[in-house]
Amino acid sequence: MKRWNGWGDPSVTMDLPEQGESLLKDSLGEGTPQIDYERGKFLERMPKSRLPQHPLIMTDPEARLDHAHGQSLPDWIGLRTGMLNRFPDGVAFPSNAGEVRSLVDLAEKQKISLIPYGGGTSVLGHLTVPEEKQPVLSLSLKRLNRIVDLDEKSLLATFEAGIMGPDLEAHLQARGFTLGHYPQSFEYSSLGGWIATRSSGQYSTRYGRIDQQFQGGTVIAPRGELVMRPYPASAAGPDLRHLVLGSEGRLGVITEATMKISPLASGEEDHIFGLFFPSWEQGVEGVRNLFAAGIPLLTVRLSNARETSINLVFSGHERATAFLKRYLPLRGVPADEGCMCLLGFRGPHRLVSAARKEVGTILKEKNAVPLGKAMGEAWKKHRFLMPYLRNTLWNMGYAVETVETAVTWNRVVQTVDAMERAMAESLADMGEPTLTFSHLSSPYPTGTNLYTTALFRIASDPEETLERWKRFKEAVSSAIVTCGGTISHQHGVGIDHKPWITAEKGRAGMDVLAAACASLDPGGRMNPGKLL
Ligand SMILES: Cc1cc2nc3c(=O)[nH]c(=O)nc-3n(C[C@H](O)[C@H](O)[C@H](O)COP(=O)(O)OP(=O)(O)OC[C@H]3O[C@@H](n4cnc5c(N)ncnc54)[C@H](O)[C@@H]3O)c2cc1C
């Protein structure tokens, strides 16, 4: 079961403690909750489908509404206020590659636009239905959910691409393996969606991003089939897998993917430890030094001072927070400036202890204060629950948006400053404050991702809420590009990042991408309007 106009399982809620509510009121003003638009009204006004009758295509309003959006903030505004007004003409649920082929052929023959749909968790408008004269078909991959092959010797597993995160891991873990790919949307996103958006997960520091795990597969395109074999290495020209990674449904439908997997050795345990740095600058340097020293980390999350204090307030652990406020200044961490860091390890106890000892030596130089496992355990427990806070906050009258990038180490501090400043200033002339906070969680040898969250009030007029979002998105995306960051480290391009993609790839680069799409999809049927 999924919430039709919010995030996740309808039986799960994430409450905000009283101090959290006060913090929001003090920072943003009284929330402005609005009455939700009713599902029935969407169904009543669903336009007539323009698709021909076909045994694989459903045209009922329920399915069309549920496939008309993802999870971006404009998607939320559209659903919650009734502004959503474009719907696919139908939804198909093929159950094998042959059926995908016949639907792609039908689209080509009858001039139908096709939107591949994985789990529907896109946060950038990847699933937005274009305003087209021709009919639009959403192609759900959810029935392509089988494991095809597990080659234990080569550490390769092949799956149909519609398989969802939990099912994929269940298959592998039953045989003693893992993919180790855990985006925060893990429970509701699919393998094909991860590949098509170049996803990164909470344990990617250990297991690699999806681009490092994707070894081969099949794409069914209007022009034919692209088959990529899982060679361990190849010098036979450019690597076509990198065209498919991040292709956002524009090239064709990924039907099958072969992934690099890792054995789960017995006796391995996860240990996630918390520590505090006296400042963001010292924290960033500390994480960089750990990376340079080759410490085998499972996961890292370094919050800046504002995210640290907000997390502590939102956690509701008043006594623990009060203790930290007394204890940390005694250890040289100034009140309200401390930056919380979680460091995770996976392995046998003996190796984890050795790595931890090494970490202690490296981070002593940065005046880090170690705090044991409690914070790490709390993070682990809530790591897929945090998005549920979006439902709670919206009901209180606050919108949440996240923005992410990756920059080289020498630009980290200035980029976070610029992102947070741009966000804060973007709504200032409308008299609306914003609350922003940031962390880094995917370090690389040459740099790191940066992830900033912003909260602001929703308005009684949905157009006004959308305008607030547009100003905010424009300001922060421009700041990212000016600072030399990528427009996306993990969420992709969709429609929301399109205005900034050319600045990143250059005109010639965009022409190459357009030519690649046109060669597999000459009629422009595949997910028109996204990426390019
Ligand atoms: C609460 C929340 C937390 C998130 N956390 C993370 C995170 O930690 N890391 C991260 O990387 N992302 C995260 N995301 C973003 C999102 O989950 C990812 O972009 C994810 O990879 C999308 O997968 P999906 O199956 O839901 O794809 P969809 O949203 O259904 O589709 C996304 C795009 O991929 C295309 N596509 C999907 N399947 C196929 C296929 N088989 N063939 C061709 N094209 C296809 C679609 O056409 C579309 O363009 C988060 C989103 C939410 C809402």
Residue 22: how many other CB atoms lie within 10 Å: 11
- Cα(120) to centroid(ligand 1), Å: 7
φ/ψ of residue 281, rounded to 5: -60, -45
Give dist(CA 141, CA 323) in Å, integer. Answer: 50
Residue 65: pLDDT over 90: yes
Residue among 122, 187, 245, 493 to mutate when testing ligand 1 (max atoms within 8 A of CB)? 122
Phi-psi region of 29 (alpha: psi -120 to 50; beta: other; left: phi over 0): left
Q: Closest Cα to atom 18, ligand 1: which residue? A: 122
CA distance 116 to 517: 15
- The residues near 484 (Cβ < 8 Å, ≥ 6 apart) are 407, 408, 411, 415
397-404 mean pLDDT:
97
Per-residue pLDDT, 269:
87
Q: Which residues line ligand 1 (CB under 6 A)?
A: 7, 70-71, 115-123, 126-127, 141, 161, 183-185, 189-190, 192-194, 196-197, 199-201, 248-249, 253-254, 387, 490-492, 527, 530
Q: Which CATH class is domain 36-140?
A: alpha beta
Could you tell me the distance, in angstroms and rounded to a whole number, from the CA of residue 197 to the centre of ligand 1?
A: 6
pLDDT of 50 > 90? The answer is yes
- State the chain's mean pLDDT as an integer: 96
Tokens standing for residue 64: 């069309």
Closest Cα to atom 5, ligand 1: which residue? 184
With a CB cutoff of 8 Å and minimum separation 6, the contacts of 527 are 113, 114, 115, 116, 126, 248, 249, 250
pLDDT digits (tens, 9 = 90+) for 247-286: 999 999 999 999 999 999 888 889 999 999 999 999 999 9
Amino acid 456: pLDDT: 97
Tally DSSP H helices, then E strands, for the chain.
Answer: 19, 18
Share of the chain above pLDDT 70, in %: 100
Q: Per residue in 171-217, pLDDT tens?
A: 999 999 999 999 999 999 999 999 999 999 999 999 999 999 999 99
Mutational pocket test of ligand 1: of 184, 450, 526, the residue with most ligand atoms within 8 Å of the beta carbon: 184
For residue 357, pLDDT over 90 is answered with yes
- What is the Å distance from ligand 1's center to 97 Cα? 21
**Ligand 1 atom closest to residue 200's alpha carbon, by position in its atom list:** 11
Contact 122, 248 (CB under 8 A): no
| 526 Cα–ligand 1 center, Å | 16
- In a 13 Å sphere around the CA of 44, the CA atoms on its Cβ side amount to 6
pLDDT band at residue 62 using 50, 70 and 90 as cut-offs: very high
Atom in ligand 1 nearest the alpha carbon of residue 202: 8
Report the pLDDT averaged over residues 72-83: 98
Going by CA atoms, what residue is nearest to atom 9 of ligand 1? 183
Q: Using the mean position of ligand 1's atoms as its centre, give its distance from the Cα of residue 126 in Å.
A: 8
pLDDT digits (tens, 9 = 90+) for 296-334: 999 999 999 999 999 999 999 999 999 999 999 999 999
Q: Which atom of ligand 1 is nearest to the CA of 247?
A: 44
Output the CA 307–ligand 1 centroid distance in Å: 25
Backbone angles phi, psi at 329, to 5 degrees: -60, -30
Distance of alpha carbon 56 from its chain centroid, rounded?
30
Specify the CATH number for 147-263; select among 1.20.1600.10, 3.30.300.210, 3.30.465.10, 3.40.50.11540: 3.30.465.10
Average pLDDT, stretch 39-53? 97
Residue 489 — pLDDT band, cuts 50, 70, 90?
very high
Q: 241, 422 in Cβ contact below 8 A?
A: no
Q: Tell how far the Cα of 18 is from the centroid of ligand 1, in angstroms.
A: 33
- From residue 405, alpha-carbon distances to 9, 441, 480 in Å are 29, 11, 7
* 3-state SS assignment for residue 301: strand
Span from the CA of 262 to the centroid of ligand 1 (angstroms):
23
Parse the chain into domains and list their residue ranges: 36-140, 147-263, 269-382
Q: What is the pLDDT of residue 464?
A: 97
Q: For domain 269-382, give its CATH number from 3.30.70.3450, 3.40.50.300, 3.40.50.410, 3.40.50.10140.
A: 3.30.70.3450
Q: How far is the CA of 250 from the centre of ligand 1 (A)?
A: 14
Tokens standing for residue 520: 């597999």
Instruction: State residue 265's pLDDT score.
Output: 85
At 335 the pLDDT is: 84
| Ligand 1 atom closest to the CA of 115, numbered from 1 | 47
C-alpha 499/C-alpha 28 separation (Å) is 29
Model pLDDT for residues 105-146, shown as the tens digit of each residue:
999 999 999 999 999 999 999 999 999 889 999 999 999 999
Domains 36-140 and 147-263 share a fold: no
- pLDDT value of position 266: 84
Going from the Cα of 122 to the center of ligand 1, the distance in angstroms, rounded, reads: 4
Atom of ligand 1 nearest to the CA of 387: 1
Angle at 75 between CA 72 and CA 76, to 5 degrees: 90
What tokens were used for 55? 């045994």
Q: Reduce the secondary structure of 356-394 to three states and give it as a string.
A: HHHHHHHHHCCCCEEEECHHHHHHHHHCCCCCHHHHHHH
